[in-house]
Structure 1
Amino acid sequence: MTGVFDIAIIGGGLAGCSTALHARLKGASVVLVERGRCGAQASGVNYGGVRQQGRHPAELALARRSRAIWGSLKSLIGTDCEFTATGHLKLARNDDDMAELIAHHLLLGAHGIHTTVLDADDLRGRFPYLSSRYAGGSLCAEDGQANPRLVAPAFARAARALGADIREGCPVISAERSNSGFSIRLDNDPIVLTARRLVNTAGAWGAAIAAQFGDHVDETVMAPNMCVTEPIAPLIGPNLGICGGGIYIRQTAHGSVIFGAGLGTADRERLRARPLAEITMEAAAAAVAMVPELKNVLLLRSWTGIEGRLPDGLPVVGPSPTVEGLFHAFGFSGHGFQLGPAVGAVLAELCLEGHSPTSISGLAMTRFNQPPATAVQS
């Protein structure tokens, strides 16, 4: 392709790669530039949960649309990326948590998302491997899990097969407005890329890209501390979470148990992140407290990655409030994996058609100039 495109995308995470694919499906010329490898940052090192349950109301329309895309991955990108609808079980510690789950059950129902509220006896009957400490739970059967290492690269390959120009190992030196839209200068490349529309899906570096155009938001970084065990016999069915946050656990098809809790350390400027041994030990203790049969299972590895976090724990998704033709999607705050496919579809629609049928009104950057919104559910 030439250096002139309908859409340029900065950032090769899942949201960016999905944008590239959906824009090509609509016939637009697309270039995506990624400093490293597609899916190598937050999109590829996360827990891998694909859940609608437990989300803030502002994310539910996106989550609902994304779940439909997850269910049709094989026809869309040629692989299911190990997506399985194992269900998501959110556990209540006490009666207050149960009241929260019931309220959330009603909210999800209004968005067409079905959950089943379970009392303590139901839990013991259906999930006997759980500790007896829980007052109940909420099961969303259509939620599930996928392999995060596979998804963004698969979207990138599918977009490239349709003619998208996917450029890995291409750090962006500058991005700015130009007479024809936007100009992007890349490291070690004398050709200036030009595009009518620019999409910023730069993850933990998204706020820095936005600031080049006068769009300012305080994006910090987080490093979710993740662990994986040796393979064991099938034990855990649905993904497990808990009201109030903390430990989350799932078992893969080949038997390994993946769990996470707490944060490691991340250095955004040096592109480095590492888990912390003391946090890993606390997470392992929390996992055993939730599923006692994990007590003697061997822990193989821990890891983390660099994720962007915004002040209210919600991402920015949508048009720039100041620059026409510029669109942002970053700051997913540790829970953007499930949303990524739909975020790309919506961004492609906004770029090419000027609107989307999926509501993202609660995710606009302008909310940071308004009174604080309701706190995000854990």
Structure 2
Amino acid sequence: MIATQADVLIIGGGLMGSATAFFLRQRGLSVIVLERGLVGQQASGVNFGNVRRQGRFLPQLPLAHRSRALWGRLPELIGEDVEFIVTGHLCLGYRDEDGEALEAYRSAARDYDLDLELLGPNALRERFPYLSREAIIGSMSPDDGHANPRLAAPAFARAAIRAGATVVENCEALTIEKVGEDFVVQTAAGIYRAPILQISAGAWGAQIAERFGELVPLKAFGPQMAVTEPVRYAFKPVLSVTTRDPLEGIYFRQIPRGNVIFGGCLRESADIDTARAQVNPDNTLHQVGQLRRIVPALASLRVIRVWSGVEGYLDDNIPVMGVSSAVPGLYYAFGFCGHGFQLGPGVGDVMAELIATGQTSTPIAPFAISRFARPSPSEETLRVDEAFTEQ
């Protein structure tokens, strides 16, 4: 059987893979994306849709800034609207220790060109009168926002196709091997080969990396998401809670159509063999209670749908991104630990730059797969980001 040849093969048609394909075409490289299901079907399409920068692992902020600039240009870049709107992101704290963490993060984030506004109890109640009195401090990132995750990855894939890329859905990679200078991927739909291979397979990325001798301690979990009936549009910013207690870690946003989308608290395990994750109804009920705790007026809303999906998480809460440490021509962009949605366009742009030129203008060294041979960052370094962890 004759193989289909390209400059770059990408395994995984989520937001990372689709965005990389689009930006590779902008740089003139031929590219084929192989997606085992449908584009954006897993983590890229089931997440919360938050486009936020505050609370991230600090060395990740340059990538987040690059991505945020692209979010603001998406209609002109890809020719489609993915419902991105700038609403601000307000993170709330219930205790003095939470306020201290938010203050420390604001101070550190200034060195990474992120300006945050801290609001005390009176200022919170004046600007957001619907908040309960349990919230004693808030951190506002005014230029953050949210978008529709069900639209983003398919829109990038369509834009990549219009630019000349090939995207093959329902095309699982059966074998992947390096043969001479090329990677050869055999599927039921045919054989594909290229001198460059990018793995953007989400929670399945570690399995593929292991085939090339690189072990990644990735675990699969399912976010616990829900949406309410529509009501009058009243809550503009994305709201979340920073806390050491995972049972308090709720986040929600309201879309202009009126529905309130929420998630957080506990995650459930997910099965990568069946590609299934379940919603725990007890967690949904607990989430509703936490929503009421932030905004008492939400107590009467009816939940009309719940969902989950398969996401990949690493113990250090940061992704695998960059070149392989073992195989020339192999690249990775997976394991975004439930907060990759905002990064998606930036990841695609950076990976295309790296593949095309051998370097990047945005630092990504902390995300290298080689870090698993070194000690993990301290728990305290990552604490704020863990509290913000959502899509």
What range is the shorter-chain TM-score in?
A: over 0.9
Question: What is the RMSD of the two structures over their aligned residues, measured on CA atoms?
Answer: 1.3
Post-superposition Cα deviations, 1:350-374, rounded to whole Å, max 9, x if no partner, equal: 1110001011111111111111213
Matched, 1:76 2:77: yes
Could you list the runs of 5+ residues in structure 2 that have no partner in the other structure? none
Query: Within 2, Cα distance between the matches of 1:129 and 1:235?
Result: 9
Q: Is the contact between residue 220 and residue 269 of structure 2 (CA under 8 Å) also seen in structure 1?
A: no
What SS does the corresponding residue of 1:89 show, helix, strand or coil?
strand
Q: Distance in 2 between matches of 1:198 and 1:357?
A: 21
Choose which of 342, 348, 372 in structure 1 pairs with 2:346.
342
CA shift digits 1:139-196 (9 cap, x unpaired): 000000000000000000000000001001100001111113211111x23x421111
Match of 2:98 in 1: 97
Report Cα offsets for 1:102-137 as digits up to 9, x if no partner: 121122222222211111111000011111111211
8 Å Cα contact 1:180-1:194 kept in structure 2: no
Tell me if 1:300 matches 2:304: yes
The one-letter code of the counterpart of 2:289 is: A
Question: Do residues 212 (structure 1) and 211 (structure 2) align?
Answer: yes
Counterpart of 1:202 in structure 2 is: 201
**Alignment-derived partner of residue 145 in structure 1:** 146
The residue number in structure 2 matching 1:113 is 114
TM-score (norm 2): 0.94
The question of whether the paired residues in 2 share the 8 Å contact of 1:225 and 1:302 is answered with: yes
Structure 1 CA distance, aligned partners of 2:73 and 2:3? 32
Aligned twin of 2:268? 264
Deviations 1:318-348, CA, capped at 9 Å, x for gaps: 1011111101111111111001111111111
Q: Tell me, yes or no, if the aligned pair for 1:264 and 1:279 is still in contact at 8 Å.
A: no
Retained in 1: the 8 A contact 2:311–2:337? yes
- Is the Cα–Cα contact under 8 Å of residues 160 and 166 in structure 1 kept in the other structure? yes
Q: For 2:298 and 2:8, locate their aligned partners in 1 and report how far apart those are by CA, in whole Å.
A: 48
Would the aligned equivalents of 2:10 and 2:32 in 1 still touch at CA under 8 Å? yes
Task: Report the counterpart of residue 252 of structure 2 in structure 1.
Answer: 249
What is the SS of the residue equivalent to 1:260?
A: strand
Structure 1 residue runs of 5 or longer lacking an equivalent are none
Distance 2:81 2:99 in 1: 34
Report matched runs for 1:271-310 at 5 Å.
Answer: 271-310=275-314
Q: Check whether the contact 1:129–1:235 (CA below 8 A) recurs between aligned residues.
A: no
Which portions of structure 1, spanning 4 or more consecutive aligned residues, are displaced by more than 3 angstroms?
A: none
Q: Which residue of 2 aligns with 1:171?
A: 172
Q: Which letter maps to 1:210?
A: A
Query: Where does residue 52 of structure 1 map in the other structure?
Result: 53
1:369 corresponds to which letter in structure 2? A
Larger mean CA deviation between 121-130 and 243-252 belongs to 243-252
Report the secondary structure of 1:266's partner residue: strand
Tell me if structure 2 keeps the 8 A contact 1:222–1:333: no
State the alpha-carbon separation in 2 of the partners of residues 153 and 100 from structure 1. 37
- Secondary structure of residue in 2 paired with 1:295: helix
Which residue pairs with 2:369 in the alignment? Answer: 365
Give the Cα–Cα distance (whole angstroms) in 1 for the partners of residues 35 and 259 of structure 2. 31
1:291-344 superposed Cα distances (whole Å, 9 cap, x missing partner): 110111111011110000112111111101111110111111111100111111
Tell which deviates more after alignment, 104-113 or 30-39: 104-113
CA deviations 1:256-281 (Å, max 9, x no partner) are 00011222342110111120111110
TM-score by length of 1: 0.97
Number of residue-to-residue matches in the alignment: 376
